[in-house]
Structure 1
Amino acid sequence: MKEIDKYMTPAEAAYRWGIKIERLKERLKPSRNNEEIEQMVKDGQIKYFIEPGKKNRSWIISTDAMEKWYPKESKNVPL
């Protein structure tokens, strides 16, 4: 696996793990999982960007984060 393939958008992650995007977005809500999210950001498993003056976050998720959250999910796309 190439290094770049270890990181993906939420849409790609949901597709590769065969889950609904809404299920993944719920995991990424800081208001619900604030401590877990902040720890995963510190550990480099996920990252977000907020454009100045905006509220929405753009996420990048690692395969490590997905395997932590959904270890029993079957992946749709082998790499």
Structure 2
Amino acid sequence: MDKEINNYMTPAEAAYRWGKNQETVKNKLKPSLNSELDQMIKRGLIKYYQKPNGQRKEWIVSVQAMEEWFGKSN
């Protein structure tokens, strides 16, 4: 049985699991390059955490988001 936690991953793991370059996945997490990013956050497919006054966002990506972007993993 597949564990629920395996449906969520870091961008680095997502890139590995889908056989994509990590920069390709990171580009999907940039509002300037992905107009549907806010909608995917609202749908609960991706999320980020940013420390107060922090510069960097830490992302969590769902399997569903990756499938919408790139199709099923290999």
Q: TM-score, normalised by structure 1?
A: 0.85
**Alpha-carbon distance in 2 for matches of 1:8, 1:17:** 12
Match of 1:69 in 2: 69
Give the structure with the higher percent helix.
Answer: 1
Q: Does 1:47 align with 2:47?
A: yes
CA RMSD between the two structures? 1.2
SS at match of 1:54: coil
Partner of 1:3: 4
Unaligned runs of 5+ in 2: none
What percent of counterpart residues are identical? Answer: 53
Query: Given the two structures, how large is their TM-score scaled by the length of structure 2?
Result: 0.91
- Number of aligned residue pairs: give it: 73
Take 1:30 and 1:51, find their aligned partners in 2: how far apart are those partners? 19
**Alpha-carbon distance in structure 2 between the residues aligned to 1:5 and 1:50:** 22
| 1:55 partner letter | Q
Identify the structure with bigger relative contact order (alpha carbons < 8 Å, sequence gap 6+).
1
Deviations 1:14-65 (CA, angstroms, capped at 9, x unpaired): 00001010011111112222x4111000100000011111121100000000
